[in-house]
């Protein structure tokens, strides 16, 4: 009996649940249905591009945490706008849209940019016109909830907001704002980003032969200045895919994170031999050097199916959840990493 128990223990140690396996789907946050939708696409014979598009589209439909899809994160005018990107790691093609209005399926429009134009990025009203021409339905992105969020913000003298070095004092009143000649110290040098207001979905899919694709979708930061674009739709910032190395996707304070291209950095670290967790931590550390209290996290996966994640520890954010599906789990599995 003792020998039999020992053999069982050895088998468990040899085949841990998080060992590398292909195909693989991994996405930011605890968006379980998105992971399952992407995995289902792969199981039905779809490509890795189909998988990441399907997964992000699922979040757009479900309005994941109110930070993806319609009806969330109204800007200073009360309008919800969407950003998304998709990247093919085999060809290095990218499609992206930002400040997209009146079209719910932002990641689908991003894929249309990639597959039906020679461009990479289309923004604003022109992105909406393009989407309509491609057959996407135009409809109001506002909901009762987003209207209520905007109304409450106005009643609170437009607090919080993303203005600085302007008058009237943005910490006390609404605009319109004008530049202030004499600069003062920012009210919060680490930014006023609220983690609960921004949970971008970033997703990586790796096929059984190592093909890599990545995608993101978000409605941006709540109360953002109209026209603001964060990291999510920017290749190398929000996500990056390269079938010779792996993929990565980031989430958090995009205004800060996009300055460091953390997804590109992480993939490049993996290209040079770093394991996914180490690549993720190194990319976060690069940002942390300049913004020690920033809000952000990143997921990484290599072409053999190894994966990892990392996040920056700050008040109210000590663990980062993410979803994983591979042949070992065969269904979405919630995992967490301790921030550092």
Residue 55 CA to residue 36 CA, distance in Å, equals 7
What lies within 8 Å, CB to CB, of 129 at 6+ separation is none
CA distance 175 to 171: 11
Residue partners of 105: CB distance under 8 A and separation at least 6: 57, 60, 136
228 assigned ligand-binding residue: yes
Alpha-carbon span 183 to 171, nearest angstrom = 14
Residue 55 annotated as lining a ligand binding site:
no
Q: For residue 111, say whether it is annotated as part of any ligand binding site.
A: no
How far apart CA 98 and CA 121 sit, in angstroms, is 8
CA distances 151 to 140, 175, 221, Å, are: 17, 15, 16
Please give the C-alpha separations between residue 19 and each of 26, 38, 195, 305, in angstroms, as whole numbers.
14, 20, 30, 8
Task: Please indicate if the annotation marks 254 as binding a ligand.
Answer: yes
Spell out a b/e string for 236-270, using b for 16 or more CB atoms within 10 Å of the CB, else e. Answer: bbbbbbbbebbbbbbbbbbbbbbebbbbbbbbbbb
Annotated ligand binding at 251? The verdict is yes
102 annotated ligand-binding residue:
no
Give the active site residues.
Answer: 200
3-class SS of residue 151: helix
Determine if residue 220 is labeled as part of a ligand binding site.
no
H-run or E-run covering 61: helix 48-62
Residues flagged as binding site: 228-231, 251-254
Residues flagged as binding site for substrate: 228-231, 251-254
């Amino acid at each position: 009996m003792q020998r039999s128990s020992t053999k069982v223990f050895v088998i468990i140690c040899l085949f841990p649940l998080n060992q590398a396996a292909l195909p693989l789907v991994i996405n930011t946050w605890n968006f379980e249905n998105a992971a399952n939708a992407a995995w289902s696409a792969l199981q039905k014979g779809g490509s890795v591009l189909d998988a990441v598009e399907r997964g992000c589209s699922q979040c757009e439909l479900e309005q994941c945490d109110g930070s993806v899809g319609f009806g969330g994160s109204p800007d200073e005018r009360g309008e919800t706008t969407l950003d998304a990107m998709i990247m093919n790691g085999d060809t290095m093609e990218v499609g992206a849209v930002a400040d997209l209005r009146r079209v719910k399926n932002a990641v689908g429009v991003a894929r249309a940019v990639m597959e039906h134009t020679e461009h990479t990025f289309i923004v604003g009203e022109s992105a909406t016109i393009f989407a309509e021409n491609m057959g996407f339905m135009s409809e109001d992105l506002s909901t009762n909830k987003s209207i209520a969020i905007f109304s409450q913000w106005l009643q609170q003298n437009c607090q919080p907001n993303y203005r600085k070095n302007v008058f009237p004092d943005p910490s006390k009143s609404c605009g319109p704002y004008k530049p202030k000649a004499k600069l003062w110290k920012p009210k919060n040098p680490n930014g006023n980003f609220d983690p609960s207001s921004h949970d971008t979905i970033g997703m990586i899919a790796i096929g059984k032969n190592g093909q890599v694709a990545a995608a993101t979708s978000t409605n941006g930061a709540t109360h953002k200045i109209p026209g603001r674009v964060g990291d999510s739709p920017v290749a190398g910032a929000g996500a990056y895919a390269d079938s010779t190395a792996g993929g990565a996707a980031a989430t958090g304070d995009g205004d800060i994170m996009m300055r460091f291209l953390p997804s590109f950095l992480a993939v490049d670290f993996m290209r040079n031999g770093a394991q996914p967790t180490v690549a993720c931590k190194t990319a976060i550390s690069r940002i942390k050097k300049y913004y020690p209290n920033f809000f952000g996290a990143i997921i990484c996966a290599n072409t053999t199916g190894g994966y990892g994640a990392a996040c920056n520890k700050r008040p109210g954010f000590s663990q980062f959840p993410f979803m994983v599906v591979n042949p070992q789990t065969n269904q979405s599995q919630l995992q967490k990493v301790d921030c550092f």
